[in-house]
Structure 1
Amino acid sequence: MIVGPAAAARLYASGAVALALVAPVMALANRSSPLVVGIAALLFLAGAVAEYRGRAVSLLIAPLRSPLGLAALAFLGWCLVSLSWSPFPALWWRVLSEFLPTLIAASILARLAPARLPGWALPLGAGLLAAACLTIVASLALDLAPQVWLGQRVALFMFNRPLLTVLLLAGPLAAFLALRGHRLAAGALLAGAALAILRSISGAATLGLIAGGGMFAVGRLLPRSVALWLAALVLGLAFALAPVEGDILHRLMPEAAHERLTQSSSRARVAIAQSFGAAVAQAPWIGSGYGMALRFAEVPAAQALEPEMRAMLAVGHPHNTFLQIWSELGLVGALLGALVAFLALRAASALPRLLFATALGLLGAAVAVMFVEHGAWQGWWTAGLGAAITWLRAAACARPPYESAHESA
C-alpha cells in the first residue's frame, strides 16, 4: 500500500465524495445509505492509515475512553448480555448484522472525516442534497413517472426513508454553509428540503421538520442553560413515556384526530403501542432480549396478554424506538440509552451558538421521528444520523476564527 500525505489526500477526497452522495443515492435506492456510509468510512480509515500508520488506531480508540464512549459501549454490552435470555437466539444475528456494521462505519466516519474534508466537500454535499430534494419533488409532481421509466417500484411511500435522511442532513449542511458566509444558499437548501418533505406523504418527516425547527429556535433564541434543560426534558420524556404512550394516546386522542390521520393508520399505531407497553409491564427490568421485536408475539412476556394484543405484536416493531428499547432491553437498557443521549447532549452544549442550535434541531427532529416511526436498529437510519453528525462536526472543525463573540456565546 502506498502511504504518505498524497495518498491520504486522495483517499480523503474519495471519502468526501461518498459522504456527499448519501442523500442522492438514497433518493434512487431507499435502503442504500449503510453501503454508502460504509464506503465513505473505509476510505477515510484507509486515508488515516496511509497518513498515520499505526497511530490511526489511537485516533479511533481515543473517544471510547470518554464518558460518552464508555456509556455507548455499556449500552452495546447490555444488548449482547440480553442475548442470554433471548427465546430465539438465532434471531439476534439477523438484526445485529445490519445495525452493528453500520454503527461502526458511522462512528468511524464521524470521528475521522470532519477535520479531513477538502474545501469543496461542502458545496458538493449541499448541491447533491438539493439535487436529491428536487428529484423527489419532480418525481412526486410527475406521479412517479421517472420511477416507471427506470423500472423501479412505484409507491408514494418509497420516498419516506430518503426524506427522513434529508431531514437529518439539511440542518447541519445549512449551518455549515451559513458559517462559511453563504446564508442565502443555506436558506435555499432548507427551503428545498422543507418543500420536498411537505410535498410527500411522510407524516414522520413532517413531524420531524416541525420538531426540529422548534428545537432550533429554542437553541437559537433562549439562554443556553434554559435550552439545555428543555432539550434534556424532551429526551427524558421520550424515554419515560414510551411504555405508556399507547394508553395516553388511547385516552387523550379524539376520534376526529384519528379521522384526519387515516392515512397514517393512527388507530393501529395506538393499539400497537398499547400492546408493546403491556408486554413491557410483563418484563420491565431486563426486557425480552435484543432484536426480539421481529417475533415479539412469541416471547414469554407476550403470553400473558389477550389474544388481540398479541396479534398487534406481530407487526415487527412498535414504531417507537424508545418503546422498542424498553421492550427488548428493559429498564436497564432504557437507562443506558438515556445516559448515552444525555452525554451526547452535554457534548453538544460546548458548540458555538449556531451549531448548538443546529444540534438541538437535529435532536428534536430525530426524537420526533424515533417516537412515531421505524424500528430501532435499522441501518439506513443509523447511517443517516452518522452522516448528519459528521457534517455537524465538520462545521465545528472548520468554523472561521473571526466568528463573532455572540455566535459563540
Structure 2
Amino acid sequence: MSVAARFRSLGTACLAALPLLMALANRSSPLFVGLAALAFLIAALIEEREDLAATLLEPLATPLGASALAFLGWCLVSIAWSPFPALSWRVAGEFLPTVLAAYLLARLAPGRLSGFALPLAVAATAAASLYIAVGMLGGLPVQKALGMRVAEFVFNRPVLTLLLIASPLAYAAIRRGWRLAGIAVLAFALLAVLASVSGAARLGLAASLAGALAARFLPRPAALGLAGLGLGLCVALAPVEGDVLARFMPEAAHERLVQSSSRARVAIARSFGAAVAEDPWRGAGYGTAARFAETGVAQRLDPEMRELLPVGHPHNSFLQVWAELGLPGAFLAGLALMLMLRAVAGYPPGAFAAAIGLAAAAAAVAFVEHGAWQGWWTAGLGAAITWLRHGLAGAETGTRP
C-alpha cells in the first residue's frame, strides 16, 4: 500500500466511524472531520498535486462559492464592531477551522474513499444507534459507571449527527448496490431519533422525510419551489418567530412540549427578535450571542425583554444570524441557500431526494435548536455532504464526482 493510500485509509476510517465516535464523545466530530480532511489533503499533495488547486478553488469561483465566501467575510468584518472581540475571535476559532476542514473533506474524499468505507460506516451507524437506544432504556449505565454527568440530552448531538448523515450515507450505499445496507442505515437512524429525547431530531426527521418524498415524487420545479419557499421563510420569519408563536401557538401545544421548554423558547425568540427590530442593519457583531444581554442593543430593550437574553443563543440559527450579522448577514445566508438549491437541481433522482431531505432536516433543526456556530454541527454537515458527493461518484475509489 502506498503512502497516499495509507493516508486515505486513515481519513476514511475517521469519516466512516464518526457516528460511533460522536455517540461516545458528543463533541468529537470537529476533531475527526479535521483529521480526515488533513489525511486526504496529504494524500492529494502526494498523488494529485497538479490538480489540487483546481479541485479546491474552482467551486469558490461559482456563484454559490462566492456567496459563501461573502457570508464568511461579513462574519469577520462584523467583529470590528463587536463589543466583545475576544469572544468573537474565540467563536471564530471553533467555527472557521471546522468549515475549512468540512470543505476540504467534501472536495477531496468523495470517489477516493477506501474500500472499507461503506461497511465501516454502516457498522458504526448501527453500533451508535444501538448504544444510544440501550443507554436511554437502561438509564445511561455507562455514564453512571464512569462518573459522568447523567442527563438524557447527552445523546442529542450524536442523534442529530446521525440524522444529517443517514440519508446521504444510505444513498451512497444504495448507489453501489448495497440496498439492504442503505435501508439498515435509515432504520438505525430512526431508532436513535425515537429513542432520544431530542424534539429537534424528531422535527428534523419529519422535515427530512417530507423533503425527500417531495423531491422524489413531485415534478422537480415544484419540489425546488417548495424547498426554496421553506428555506426562504426560515430566514425571513426568524426575527418574528417569537411574536408569531406567542400569538398563535395554543396552550395545548405548550403542554405537549413541556419537556422542550417551549414557553421559554418562545420568550427567548421574542427577546432576540426585539433586538433585531431595534438594530436590523448590521447586528451586534459575530459571535456575541453568549454575552448578548450586555450588548448596547440589548440595553435599549425594555427590562422584560432582556431577562432571557443571557441564555447564550436564541435556539434558532437563522435568528442568531439576524441578531449578530444584521440584514447583510441574513441576505447573504439566504442567497447561499437559494444558490445551493440551484446547484443540486441537476442531480439524479436519488441524489436530489437525499440532498433536499438533508437540507430540510438541517433547516428544521437549525430553526429550533443549537447555536449557529457550533463546530460539532458544522462537522456533521460536512460529513453528510461528503457522503452525498461520494454517492455521486462513479466508483468506490478513484473517480471524481
Normalising by the smaller structure, the TM-score range is: over 0.9
Aligned amino acid, residue 111 of structure 1: R
Aligned residues: 396
What does residue 269 of structure 1 align with? 265
For 2:224 and 2:275, the matched residues in 1 are separated by: 33
For 1:339 and 1:308, the matched residues in 2 are separated by: 34
What does residue 212 of structure 1 align with? 208
1:87 aligns with 2:98: no
For 1:60 and 1:307, the matched residues in 2 are separated by: 49
1:399 deviates by 6.5
What does residue 116 of structure 2 align with? 120
1:99 deviates by 0.3
Contact preservation (8 Å) 2:81, 2:284: yes
What does residue 304 of structure 1 align with? 300
What does residue 67 of structure 2 align with? 71
For 2:102 and 2:212, the matched residues in 1 are separated by: 24
For 2:149 and 2:343, the matched residues in 1 are separated by: 41
Contact preservation (8 Å) 1:276, 1:323: yes
Residues 222-262 of structure 1, C-alpha deviations (whole Å, 9 max, x = no match):
01111001100011000000000000000000111111111
What does residue 104 of structure 2 align with? 108
User: Within 5 Å, which residues of 2 pair with 1:292-371?
Assistant: 292-371=288-367
Which sections of structure 2, spanning at least 5 residues, go unmatched? 397-401
Contact preservation (8 Å) 2:111, 2:395: no
Contact preservation (8 Å) 2:242, 2:269: yes
Q: 1:202 aligns with which of 198, 214, 219?
A: 198
For 1:321 and 1:177, the matched residues in 2 are separated by: 31
1:212 deviates by 0.4
TM-score by length of 2: 0.96
Q: 2:162 aligns with which of 157, 166, 184?
A: 166
* Deviation larger for 372-381 or 16-25: 16-25
Q: Match of 1:114, SS?
A: coil
What does residue 175 of structure 2 align with? 179
User: Within 5 Å, which residues of 2 pair with 1:378-397?
Assistant: 378-397=374-393
What does residue 222 of structure 1 align with? 218
What does residue 127 of structure 2 align with? 131
What does residue 51 of structure 1 align with? 47
Which sections of structure 1, spanning at least 5 residues, go unmatched? 401-409
TM-score by length of 1: 0.94
User: Identity of paired residues, percent?
Assistant: 61
Residues 117-159 of structure 1, C-alpha deviations (whole Å, 9 max, x = no match):
1232112112211111111111112111122223332211000
Q: Match of 1:68, SS?
A: helix
What does residue 399 of structure 2 align with? none
1:54 deviates by 5.5
Contact preservation (8 Å) 1:243, 1:280: yes
1:56 deviates by 2.5
For 2:61 and 2:260, the matched residues in 1 are separated by: 43
Contact preservation (8 Å) 1:179, 1:399: no
Contact preservation (8 Å) 1:49, 1:56: yes
For 2:394 and 2:5, the matched residues in 1 are separated by: 17
For 1:59 and 1:359, the matched residues in 2 are separated by: 21
1:285 deviates by 1.1
Residues 22-57 of structure 1, C-alpha deviations (whole Å, 9 max, x = no match):
111110111000001000000000000011235423
For 1:151 and 1:20, the matched residues in 2 are separated by: 29
Instruction: Please provide the CA RMSD for this pair.
Output: 1.3
Aligned amino acid, residue 356 of structure 1: F
Contact preservation (8 Å) 2:279, 2:297: yes
Residues 328-371 of structure 1, C-alpha deviations (whole Å, 9 max, x = no match):
01111000011111111111112100110010000110000000
For 1:398 and 1:129, the matched residues in 2 are separated by: 24
1:288 deviates by 1.0
For 1:11 and 1:213, the matched residues in 2 are separated by: 36
Residues 37-89 of structure 1, C-alpha deviations (whole Å, 9 max, x = no match):
00000000000001123542332222211111111110011111111221222
